[in-house]
A and B are shown apart, each in its own frame.
Chain A
Amino acid sequence: MQAIHERPDELDFDPGTSDSSRLRILLEEGYEARRERVRRAQRAVSYRRWAEDAEAAEAPAEVLADTRRAGGVLGALGRRPTAET
């Protein structure tokens, strides 16, 4: 029972849910199954928020552009020079 109260985010119970209701829900769904479902739902929300932000695309693009300018993704990590390079 203590774990139910210590990890409210992981199990996503409404604050007003009684202990008996929490137990019933957990017995029906399974503790690990509910925790995993809630975790994945929170993860998807987090990703969506990031996707909606224009800033999300900026950094990867500039890093990849820098990498390509310097000779490619494999860069100096053992790539055999080609005729062009």
Chain B
Amino acid sequence: MPVQRGVLYGAPNDPDVAAWLVLTNDDWNTHLRYIGAVPLANPAALDDVPPHSPAVVLDGMGHHAVTAALTSIDRDDDLGSSLGAATDDELRHVEAALIDLLDLRPLLRTPARALPLAPGPLSPMWGDIYFGPPRGERGAEEHKRYVVVSNNQWNVAMPQVVCVRTTTSACRGGPGFPEIQGGRARACCGQTTAIRTAGLDLRRRPVPSRLGLQDMVAIARDIVDTYELRL
């Protein structure tokens, strides 16, 4: 099934999601199994509307596109049939909400500016790298590394943050996978995903434990390209 950016698909595996709005570009959607999508929430299912959740109409009814729950989903298993497409105006609002959540504009201006810190309790911080949820056998779990890309006001206040997975594999490269840490690792920008704060190991930290401004700018540029965000 060809998957297209801007199209709404059913969410057969996620009963709390009314539909998935695909945001990754169509080159990505053509080649990759895991694609980036924002869940649409029925207003009746929400106690509170999370910030950065613009309206998108589905079946004649306004829903909330929860950009803070951007997820990398399996196109073969997690996507139902097409339910229609978001309008260009709706897509622009979703893009604007994501740009705001990730605070991309200060990063992409010249000169780039790092995001302000928001001191608070033990919370994931923008630019920090954490080990993610474990995978594999108990006692021999592996933990992938994730760098936090959501802004710090969000990170301090909310129970999940938006992260980009990193890899040290040498065979990646090119658009969508910018070099970070002086070329020792790469960021997988098409796998930008919300992660529960409780799913990150906030105490045992990888080395290095954070990225510099130049690396965060490179990630921001490739997020814009991969999700075709109009700044």
| Chain A positions near chain B (C-beta within 8 angstroms) | 39-40, 42-51, 53, 55-68, 70, 72-80, 82
Contacts and interface: CB of A to CB of B under 8 A. Distances in A.
B32 A51 contact: yes
Contact of B133 (A40, A63, A76, A80): A63
A13 B133 CA distance: 44
Contact of A67 (B30, B47, B196): B196
B15 A77 contact: no
A60 B74 contact: yes
Contacts of A61: 34, 74, 135
B227 interface: no
B66 interface: yes
B194 A67 contact: yes
Q: Is the interface of A mostly helix, strand, loop or mixed?
A: helix
B17 to A, nearest CB: 5
Contacts of A43: 25, 27, 174-176, 225
Contacts of A67: 71, 194-196, 199
**Chain B CB within 10 Å, residue with most, of A39, A62, A63, A75:** A63
Interface residues of B, number: 59
Given A43-B176, A75-B196, 7 more contacts: A42-B175, A47-B27, A48-B31, A50-B188, A53-B169, A67-B194, A74-B41
Contacts of A59: 72, 132, 144, 165, 188, 191
A75 B159 contact: yes
B31 A77 contact: no
A72 B16 contact: yes
A28 B173 CA distance: 30
Interface string B41-59: 1001111111000000000
A46 to B, nearest CB: 3
B171 interface: yes
Contacts of B71: 60, 63-64, 67, 73
Nearest to A45: B174
A15 to B, nearest CB: 19
B177 A53 contact: no
A58 B144 contact: yes
A53 B191 CA distance: 14
A78 B50 contact: yes
